Structure 1
Amino acid sequence: MKAFESVRGLVGNTPLVELRSLSPNPGVRLFAKLEAQNPTGSIKDRIVLRILESARASGALAPGQAIVEASTGNTGVALAMFGRLMGHPVEVCVPESVYPEIEQLLLVYGAGIRRVPRQAGIKSAREVAKDISRETGAYYLGQFDSPENARTHYETTAAEILADLAEAGGVHALVAGMGTGGTVSGAGRRLKEANPACHIYGVEPRLGVHVQGLKSLEDGFIPPVLDEAVLDGKILVGNRHAFSHARRAMLAEGIFGGISSGAVLHAGMRLAGRMTSGNVVLIFADGGWKYLGTDLWREDDGDDQPDDGEDPLDDILWW
């Protein structure tokens, strides 16, 4: 087994696992990209490490300089760990709606926490982080703004997917959460270059619904990183299906994914039911252990059973 010089070497090269029991269509194969295998347990390790290394290399981030960022969870945790590892004090601006485990992890890694009212959400948290940067000279990470975000997924996430499915016929569709927009934009662009017929779908919560790790564009904030031209459509998912399908992944396949992973699974299964054949890749952005304090893992009137009914609120919206 290869020995790594530091935990940085563990970022990326996450496994792609087929969900054999969950595809509703025998002609469609579902594959989950398990990003919980990254060091802090989420896909955000990829972009945080890339942004930090790029900023250090360019001189934009000086040794020992403080870093500030806005986050609802995973980016903040990744920044807290990698920032500390690289010798930077970290402050994370978080909406009060984040799960308690996220704040606990931030504190464990030594990050400072600046709370923003729940109603203000990530848009206001981002403005607060920018204000702190201007007032104190802290480096603003800017996950929603940095071109390194999408570039990371173009160069790593998509490249890994293409390599893993090269002998299985390639990729015909990608389903990923609409958080910063970096995954669908960067990975989606690379997959479309490899196969112009590949379809890219972003998953977002319905307006007013809080699904951890996902953002609704209808809430009025479109991340600068997002390239909507890459998307073929978006799929709206509510909390009920996000939670129930996270449980289904655990019970049917033994995959302990987070809430956004459940949302992506629900969307992917709906998409598979509309296809005749092909390989669909689902980005499982993080693991379920960060959400053990929620109702995610409780029995809920058989909600983990197959969902054969159509729910127009959870359907695809085409451009």
Structure 2
Amino acid sequence: MDTLCGLPKPVLTPLLEEDGVWIKAEGRQKTGSAKYRLVYAKISAALEKGGIDSRTLLVEASSGSTGIALAYAGRKLGCPVEIHALESASPEKCDKIRLEGAGLVLHPARTSPKIVFDLISRLLRQGAAWHLNQYDRTSFPDSYQALALELIRQHRRKGFSPPTRFVCPVGTGGLVQGVGSHLRRAFPEIEVISVEPETGSVIDGMRNRDEHSMGDADPFDPAFPDRRMTVSPPRGSARVQGISLGESATAIFRLIRKKGWKKTLMIAPD
């Protein structure tokens, strides 16, 4: 079956190779982002437990790709969706959320994550609502298991040698921790490198943890990666085998090329 209760399953995305760099092109995923993997995994688990029906309000705090993916999922399931975001969110992504039929609640740009989470908690206490909670660190391995195993299978089927490193952007931290945990089991010698914007810089899909800490609610475990690096915003988009990479993937791809790294895995999240 290609759908679950009307919700399309994630599609197989290509693993590209460019001069010893292996790129999982998740921009080809449903809703144009790896975040659809997380949304699908969490909704699948909730459906199996009977936690969602057509009257359930699906709610999440998101300034971009996760909100778009959840809005799309809600439309396919026939469920109402409410996304909470900051006024500083990309207008383009806000428009995409609205186009999927979701409600969008915008908060002042300096609103703390705790205030937004408290509002969502109040909705949950009122009943008939389900919180995606992309910031739940304990769910990362399960949420990105399918992506990680798909990546590992593709890598082995193509006959590539074991990867030396996995380089991944940090937003919530779900991608690097979720996929990274499975890669470490498959390739015990792999080095996991997390990448953030330089201080004072903005790169879509990434955050500098020193400047944008979520405090006790931060889902990213700073002890998880073997190394932490920063990059500057890229000029233009990199293209690999005719596929344009998003801003965060372009920055990471150029970092890898600058370092001259080979046998390196990366994910282009959108």
TM range (shorter): 0.7 to 0.9
* Corresponding position: 1:156 with 2:146: yes
Judging by fraction of residues, say which structure has more strand. Answer: 2
Equivalent residue, structure 2, for 1:68: 59
Question: Residues 138 and 146 of structure 1: is their aligned pair in 2 closer, same or farther, counting only changes over 3 Å?
Answer: farther
Q: Residue 92 of structure 1 aligns to a residue in which SS?
A: strand
Moved more, 117-126 or 40-49: 117-126
1:269 pairs with 253, 257, 260, which one? Answer: 257
Q: Residue 192 of structure 2 aligns to a residue in which SS?
A: strand
In structure 2, C-alpha distance between the alignment counterparts of 1:162 and 1:15, rounded to whole Å? 12
Structure 2 counterpart of 1:129, which letter? I
Aligned pair count?
265
Structure 2 counterpart of 1:159, which letter? L
In structure 1, C-alpha distance between the alignment counterparts of 2:21 and 2:113, rounded to whole Å? 31
Structure 1, unaligned runs of 5 or more = 21-28, 287-319
Structure 2 counterpart of 1:174, which letter? F
* Corresponding position: 1:191 with 2:183: yes
* Corresponding position: 1:220 with 2:213: yes
In the TM superposition, residue 216 of structure 1 has moved relative to its aligned partner by: 2.1
1:133-174 Cα distance to aligned partner (Å, 9 max, x none): 335652111001163333232x22221222122211122211
In structure 1, C-alpha distance between the alignment counterparts of 2:111 and 2:44, rounded to whole Å? 31
1:202-226 Cα distance to aligned partner (Å, 9 max, x none): 1112344332211222122266543
Contact 1:71 1:93 in 2 (8 A): yes
Structure 2 counterpart of 1:14, which letter? T
In the TM superposition, residue 17 of structure 1 has moved relative to its aligned partner by: 0.6
Moved more, 84-93 or 6-15: 6-15
1:222-269 Cα distance to aligned partner (Å, 9 max, x none): 665434443111221232x3xx2x52x13x643222222222223333
Equivalent residue, structure 2, for 1:238: 232
Contact 2:60 2:83 in 1 (8 A): yes
Contact 2:7 2:76 in 1 (8 A): no
2:161 pairs with 163, 169, 172, which one? Answer: 169
1:62-112 Cα distance to aligned partner (Å, 9 max, x none): 442101101111000000011121121001011112222111111111000
Structure 1 counterpart of 2:224, which letter? V
In the TM superposition, residue 178 of structure 1 has moved relative to its aligned partner by: 0.8
Moved more, 229-238 or 123-132: 123-132
TM-score by length of 1: 0.75
CA-atom RMSD in angstroms: 2.4
Q: Residue 40 of structure 1 aligns to a residue in which SS?
A: helix
Structure 2 counterpart of 1:264, which letter? I
Contact 1:76 1:92 in 2 (8 A): yes
Contact 2:86 2:106 in 1 (8 A): yes
Contact 2:22 2:266 in 1 (8 A): yes
Q: Residue 12 of structure 2 aligns to a residue in which SS?
A: coil
Structure 2 counterpart of 1:79, which letter? L
Question: Residues 131 and 268 of structure 1: is their aligned pair in 2 closer, same or farther, counting only changes over 3 Å?
Answer: farther
Alignment of 1:117-132 (within 5 A): 117-120=108-111, 124-132=115-123
In structure 2, C-alpha distance between the alignment counterparts of 1:230 and 1:48, rounded to whole Å? 23
- Aligned residues with identical type, % of pairs: 28
Moved more, 218-227 or 140-149: 218-227
Equivalent residue, structure 1, for 2:98: 107
Equivalent residue, structure 1, for 2:202: 210
Judging by fraction of residues, say which structure has more helix. Answer: 1
* Corresponding position: 1:283 with 2:258: no
In structure 1, C-alpha distance between the alignment counterparts of 2:143 and 2:59, rounded to whole Å? 20
Contact 2:55 2:128 in 1 (8 A): no
Structure 1 counterpart of 2:227, which letter? G
Contact 1:235 1:267 in 2 (8 A): no
Structure 2, unaligned runs of 5 or more = none
Structure 1 counterpart of 2:230, which letter? L
In the TM superposition, residue 40 of structure 1 has moved relative to its aligned partner by: 0.6
Alignment of 1:125-140 (within 5 A): 125-135=116-126, 137-140=128-131
Contact 1:72 1:122 in 2 (8 A): no
Contact 2:9 2:40 in 1 (8 A): no
Question: Residues 91 and 141 of structure 1: is their aligned pair in 2 closer, same or farther, counting only changes over 3 Å?
Answer: same
Structure 2 counterpart of 1:11, which letter? P
Contact 2:41 2:142 in 1 (8 A): no
TM-score by length of 2: 0.87
